[in-house]
Structure 1
Amino acid sequence: METIPAAVAHAAREFGHEPALVDPGVRRFDFADLHDEVQRVARALVTAGIEPGDRVALWAPNSAKWVLAALGVWTAGAVLVPVNMRFTGPEADEILHRSGARGLIVTGPFLGTDRLASLTVTPPLVVPLPQWETFLEAETEPRLPSVRPDDLADILYTSGTTGRSKGAMSAHRQSLGVARAWAGIGGLSTRDRYLVVNPFFHSFGLKAGLLACLVSGATIVPQAVFDVPRTLDLIEHERISVLPGPPTLYIGLLDHPARVTRRLGSLRLAVTGAATVPPVLIDRIRDELGFATVLTAYGLTEAVVATMCRPGDPTRTVAHTSGRAAAGFEVRIGDKDGEVLLRGPNVMLGYLDDPAATAEAVDADGWLHTGDVGELDEDGNLRITDRLRDMYICGGFNVYPAEVERALAALPGVAEVAVVGVPDERLGEVGRAFVVPRPGMTVDEAAVLGFCRERLAGYKVPRSVVLRAELPHNAGGKVLKYLLREESR
């Protein structure tokens, strides 16, 4: 069971008629149904010309079809390339081009945007989800390829401090390895109903969500967009027991006036991270939402799940640390700069077509350099204290200032720009752009923000703009961002 197709087959045998996947109001799949439908998707992909090793991009919100499509891609021997639903057309174009995608499965118009119409790069095979059933009806009876544990399973794009996205590659055994570790610590079983609000295009939603359910027998209940009333409905009507997410998710539930009228007694496991978690929030999640277990975890696309608290850990450990090593990882702190270093079987294979970046990230001894600064306590719990790089986290999503700065550099009238993350009560951190206009030219806040919205996903767009005559620099000409952060605080 070291490949995802084998895991699907094993789940059909092991869990049989236990509920596997819910498409609320449409259809429910047990694990036997799931296996049969995934086989159907895989045969349709092979019939359409997808070959082993081909990259197939998936650009759609969380749904039952997303689950079936992803598992079908893997069963066809292809490589899954999830695309961030918040990306604009030009951002998605870049991913399709650089990944060499031979196929694209794409949502229909969603939240007022036609993703397919926004693209200029289209692979040879394009499957719009509104035409999903028509696509499946064209399947023949091809022989499906064999898949090996070390075969490439997925390429998840993450950004670097240069602003250029990098495709982190994982093998089947690795994606399953982190999924089993997460499911094991959380105690997932066939008794659980897992509401997956974390996007499937993100490593957390994909591997600690979809795949964690597959290997444990828990039921996947996808939610396309976090909406508090809808989430409360699903918790009550689907008897949700597992609900991970960033702190903002729990704050939204806690602060909604309708919460007190809903039946939430099925909730048992909350897992959060991605931002500072105050002890009072941990207590409120337990006391007011009724979760028996609240855990925090630490990971990144290149490693997915590196550390995790354990059930029974005290509130202080959960709130102030990200727990102990998990999923076979070793964790140590670099002597020189306090950087968090990770080593283990589930460190990514490398970055697609970027050996230089791979060598910079993973040293000769196999240690992944995370860019985060941290400390280990006497029990091995990791506490993240700072970031070596400038990345900040907005509502659970990583934002890399260099990418935003690169976009703003193209705005007429801008001489120089620097973006930093500043604290925000609801989202954890948001961007603030410090802009120096060109001599004799004027730039206003509305123009800066509007320019960003046309080119960047919403979570990357700064929330405020500060116009400056100049920015602070060191002797080498580098902007001293720590001074801008201090000024913002």
Structure 2
Amino acid sequence: MATAPVLDDALPGFREARLMPVDLAVERRDDGTILLRSRVAIADYDANIPADLARSAARQPDKPALAWRETGREGWATLNYAELKARIDAAAQWLIDHAPEGRPMLLIADNTPAFAIATFAAWAAGLPVCPVSTAYGALGGDYGRLAHVVAKVKPGVVFAENSAKLAPALAALDLGDAILVTGDPALVAKPAVAIDALLATTATEAVTIAVEAIRADDLAAYMLTSGSTGLPKMVAITFDNLAANSAQCRQMIGEAAGWHDVMLDWLPWHHAAGAFVLRTTLTEGGTLYIDDGKPMPGLFAESLRNLREIPVRFFNNVPLGYGMLVEALESDPDLRRTFFSQLKVMLYGGAGLSQPVYDRLQAAAIAETGHRIMLTSGYGSTETVSAFMAIHFETDRVGIGLPAPGAVVKLVPSGDRYEVRAAGPNVTRGYLDEPAKNAEAFDEEGFYRTGDMAVFNDPADPEKGLAFAGRAAEEFKLSSGAWVYGGSLRDGLLKALTPMVRDLVLCDENREYLTLMLWRTPEGDRDRITAALKTFNAAQHGGSSRIRRALLLDVPPDPNAHEMSDKGTINRRAVIDRRKGDIDRLYADIPDPDIILLQEPS
């Protein structure tokens, strides 16, 4: 076992987090390919997740399982483990009695107790779930994405909790012979069953028998990819995939994270990372406070309100959310005091965290506690269930870390970077009815191709972990044929523009030069941003990394137009396609005064 990475001795130490020790096996092949795996064996786990939840409920029936805010009510409403288990059993019995055997439940809901109950009830009844964002049912038009999912999955039950919000979509869609379950059937134009009818069902021994019949290789879920480059794919996930991934993450950071304790989380449960939090907290016996905020303008204030009330040992967010959080921590001592009072680990995922945001978070932690706080990555994808790599060692560097127990990371040389591929018990068996895409997604040895690039933080010492070095899908060519490495260039720009800019989009392929659209923070005045961009350009060595023009955007990214995912990450292609007028302004022969001119074409 190697020694721990060298840290800056001038800074205070990290608050004790008790992460998994680094014990890395490195295999180097003659062609330059490198295989990384942890010598720590994956711990035993039970793939029967409904049985695992039942054990949690039996151990602590009176402990709150879920907590949420109700409109017009002060404080938090709660559902304890005994109540949650009883409602799951009731709904499972109804599904056993009425649902078509084996056909999936399409679940369209926000993060609510009903979503959690429906998920575990479907599993207990032997049905896979396919959770979908309510945004799919709120976009209007022909509801193309939702219609695509219905046609692919062919659900036997459609669970659509918010009747008023989803009524137009439900009326427009052909649901076939699926049974529609909703909050208020009177508000929808099709025959429907009330959710209350499921919860009023008397459970029988049939539920216990159905749970005991679950096998590790049974299909548990179809999880949707983001669909950023087209219609979403349905990723087939087994109970073994889910349980293995929970076991991996428990081993890497679980003791510090305290999923058995108190969690406060906003990540959407129809997405891989949010589904992990819901599943792991309940099977570990923790209390999950549902945060209705999001890292978006106008919505993050709710997250800050909750963080002022609920101290946590573990905090999970996307880089955009951390950028908004650090601004609040620096100006709000009450928030800072509560946030850091019990905190052991912060985790980011979904994109690379900029080093300046990392440094500011640590400065706030030191000011409040006298210690740094472990800030780790959760690197994974829908196809790997959730994170299969993490930083589980003390370091000052951002990155994607090292593989979890049971996972094998294959690094295939690609210039001065490596393409990241993954194998392990957490990796999907493929996409639903997509043979061509399945063939593309896996290599000849069965490794899943993530499409991401990475480099070693220290090539001479692999135990210092990997750093994210771009996403192949974000790389494009200019009209000159020069490649733009969009992921790494974006990260560099964010670093140069912190704290003046919240996020940005690079424009655009097959153009003569690069331009930029960006959303600024309150600190980001035009002159400061212009100066920072000129400084950035001066350090670049080629036209494929220099920005010629920029535009400050006043209209925030619209999640209903897929410009931003429900977890707060920017969909570059959707932003560019939707804002064609702004693109035309950036590339106009005579730019208008709002365009920041940095370096004109020669």
Q: TM-score range by the shorter chain?
A: 0.7 to 0.9
Matched, 1:192 2:261: yes
Aligned-residue Cα RMSD (Å) equals: 3.5
Matched, 1:22 2:67: yes
Contact preservation (8 Å) 1:43, 1:140: yes
Give the structure 1 partner of residue 56 of structure 2.
11
Matched, 1:335 2:413: yes
| One-letter code aligned to 2:264 | L
* Cα deviation digits, residues 13-62 of structure 1 (max 9, x gap): 344443322133564233333322221221122233242x2111111111
Give the structure 1 partner of residue 436 of structure 2.
356
1:49 aligned to 99, 105, 117, which one?
Answer: 99
* Cα deviation digits, residues 332-369 of structure 1 (max 9, x gap): 21135631111111110111111221122122322111
* Cα deviation digits, residues 393-435 of structure 1 (max 9, x gap): xxxxxxxxxxxxxxxxxxxxxxxxxxx8866765544475779
Take 1:114 and 1:427, find their aligned partners in 2: how far apart are those partners?
35
- CA shift, 1:161, in A, is 7.9
Give the structure 2 partner of residue 273 of structure 1.
349
Q: 1:54 to 1:163 in 2, by over 3 A?
A: same
Contact preservation (8 Å) 2:68, 2:291: no
Contact preservation (8 Å) 1:61, 1:199: yes
Which aligned pairs between 1:51-90 and structure 2 lie closer than 5 A? 51=101, 53-87=102-136, 88=139, 89-90=143-144
| One-letter code aligned to 1:325 | P
Contact preservation (8 Å) 2:221, 2:238: yes
Q: 1:336 to 1:283 in 2, by over 3 A?
A: closer
Take 2:195 and 2:462, find their aligned partners in 1: how far apart are those partners?
50
Contact preservation (8 Å) 1:373, 1:386: yes
Contact preservation (8 Å) 1:161, 1:390: no
What secondary structure sits across from 2:230 in the alignment? coil
| One-letter code aligned to 2:360 | R
Take 1:325 and 1:487, find their aligned partners in 2: how far apart are those partners?
45
Give the structure 2 partner of residue 153 of structure 1.
220
Take 1:279 and 1:336, find their aligned partners in 2: how far apart are those partners?
24
| One-letter code aligned to 2:345 | L
| One-letter code aligned to 2:273 | F
Contact preservation (8 Å) 1:109, 1:115: no
Matched, 1:282 2:358: yes
Q: 1:183 to 1:86 in 2, by over 3 A?
A: farther
What secondary structure sits across from 2:126 in the alignment? coil
Q: 1:429 to 1:66 in 2, by over 3 A?
A: farther
Give the structure 1 partner of residue 584 of structure 2.
467
Contact preservation (8 Å) 1:228, 1:256: no
Question: Which protein, 1 or 2, shows the higher relative CO under an 8 Å CA cutoff with sep ≥ 6?
Answer: 2
- CA shift, 1:139, in A, is 5.4
Unaligned runs of 5+ in 1: 393-419, 437-449, 471-485
Matched, 1:177 2:238: no
After TM superposition, the structure 1 stretch with the greater mean CA deviation from structure 2, 168-177 or 380-389, is 380-389
Give the structure 1 partner of residue 390 of structure 2.
308
Contact preservation (8 Å) 1:327, 1:346: no
Q: 1:98 to 1:138 in 2, by over 3 A?
A: same
Contact preservation (8 Å) 2:57, 2:285: no
Contact preservation (8 Å) 1:279, 1:315: no
Which aligned pairs between 1:371-390 and structure 2 lie closer than 5 A? 371-376=451-456, 377=459, 378-380=461-463, 381-390=465-474
What secondary structure sits across from 2:214 in the alignment? coil
| One-letter code aligned to 1:203 | A
Give the structure 1 partner of residue 153 of structure 2.
99
- CA shift, 1:121, in A, is 2.9
Give the structure 2 partner of residue 482 of structure 1.
none
Give the structure 2 partner of residue 477 of structure 1.
none
Contact preservation (8 Å) 1:54, 1:78: yes
Give the structure 1 partner of residue 280 of structure 2.
212
Matched, 1:221 2:289: yes
Give the structure 2 partner of residue 411 of structure 1.
none
Take 1:158 and 1:229, find their aligned partners in 2: how far apart are those partners?
28
Give the structure 2 partner of residue 439 of structure 1.
none
What secondary structure sits across from 1:156 in the alignment? strand
After TM superposition, the structure 1 stretch with the greater mean CA deviation from structure 2, 157-166 or 88-97, is 157-166
Take 1:468 and 1:298, find their aligned partners in 2: how far apart are those partners?
37
Give the structure 1 partner of residue 36 of structure 2.
none
Contact preservation (8 Å) 2:160, 2:166: no
Contact preservation (8 Å) 1:93, 1:119: no
Contact preservation (8 Å) 1:152, 1:171: yes
Q: 1:32 to 1:189 in 2, by over 3 A?
A: farther
Give the paired residue count. 427
Under a length normalisation based on structure 1, what TM-score does the superposition of the two structures give? 0.77
Query: Which of the two has higher C-alpha Rg?
Result: 2
Contact preservation (8 Å) 1:183, 1:213: no
Q: 1:300 to 1:427 in 2, by over 3 A?
A: farther
- CA shift, 1:458, in A, is 4.1
| One-letter code aligned to 1:462 | V
| One-letter code aligned to 2:89 | Q
Give the structure 1 partner of residue 196 of structure 2.
133
- CA shift, 1:135, in A, is 3.6
Take 2:560 and 2:343, find their aligned partners in 1: how far apart are those partners?
39
Q: Percent identity?
A: 21
Contact preservation (8 Å) 1:247, 1:275: yes
Contact preservation (8 Å) 1:253, 1:259: no
Contact preservation (8 Å) 1:242, 1:270: yes
Matched, 1:369 2:429: no
Take 2:105 and 2:440, find their aligned partners in 1: how far apart are those partners?
28
- CA shift, 1:66, in A, is 1.5
Take 2:412 and 2:356, find their aligned partners in 1: how far apart are those partners?
32
Take 1:267 and 1:454, find their aligned partners in 2: how far apart are those partners?
30
| One-letter code aligned to 1:467 | D
* Cα deviation digits, residues 305-333 of structure 1 (max 9, x gap): 121011x51122xx1x2110014211121
Name segments (4+ residues, structure 1) moved above 6 Å.
420-425, 433-436, 452-455
Unaligned runs of 5+ in 2: 1-45, 70-74, 185-193, 477-485, 512-554, 565-570, 588-598
